[in-house]
Amino acid sequence: MARQTNIERTAPLAGPREKNRQRTLAALQQALASIQESGEKVTLKAVAERAGVSPSLLNHRYQDFAEQVRGAIGRTIRQQRSDIATQLAAEKERNRQLRAAVEEHLMEIRALASKNEALRKELAVQHAIADGKVKPIRPPLKPKKS
């Protein structure tokens, strides 16, 4: 038996084998498109299963198509990272705004607490004056005579 050369091995398949290979390739392409359209995670295994072939067939017999799928996987991952980075930036901005609002509210609370304490002290003095425990430093103002 004669040994095959590289040229003979890479020669196009003839007849039914070539048609079967083309049908399988078309099924793989359709499976990839279907997975991408549905938004599912693109993997070699998912494409192979959707096309009804084994993942090893995809890797060994359809290497160019397997590279195409790997490229789609890379684009999918880059797109997911980009989407996540955009969401993260938006959430960081929202977080910054909320922190600023919290700080404003805390400043307002401190000011109100200070006013409240001053009013409590004044009220305590007024109660003491009313109960006769403390005499005012200055006498109450008399109404002016006209």
Is residue 144 assigned to a domain?
A: no
Domain carrying residue 108:
18-121
Is residue 63 assigned to a domain?
A: yes
Is residue 90 assigned to a domain?
A: yes
> For residues 2 and 31, what is the distance between their CA atoms, to the nearest angstrom?
40
User: With a threshold of 0.85, does the pTM exceed it?
Assistant: no
pLDDT by 10s per residue, the chain, length 146: 455 544 445 555 557 888 888 888 899 899 989 988 888 888 888 899 899 998 888 888 888 888 888 887 777 667 778 888 999 999 999 999 999 999 999 999 999 999 999 999 999 988 888 888 777 677 667 777 76
Q: Write the CB contacts of 40 (distance below 8 Å, at least 6 apart in sequence).
A: 46
Is residue 9 assigned to a domain?
A: no
Is residue 107 assigned to a domain?
A: yes
Q: Write the CB contacts of 42 (distance below 8 Å, at least 6 apart in sequence).
A: 32, 35, 36, 69, 72, 73, 76
Is residue 71 assigned to a domain?
A: yes
Q: How many domains does the chain have?
A: 1
> For residues 18 and 12, what is the distance between their CA atoms, to the nearest angstrom?
8
Is residue 6 assigned to a domain?
A: no
Cα–Cα distance list, 82 to 31, 78, 87, 89, 107 (Å)? 25, 6, 9, 11, 38
Is residue 50 assigned to a domain?
A: yes
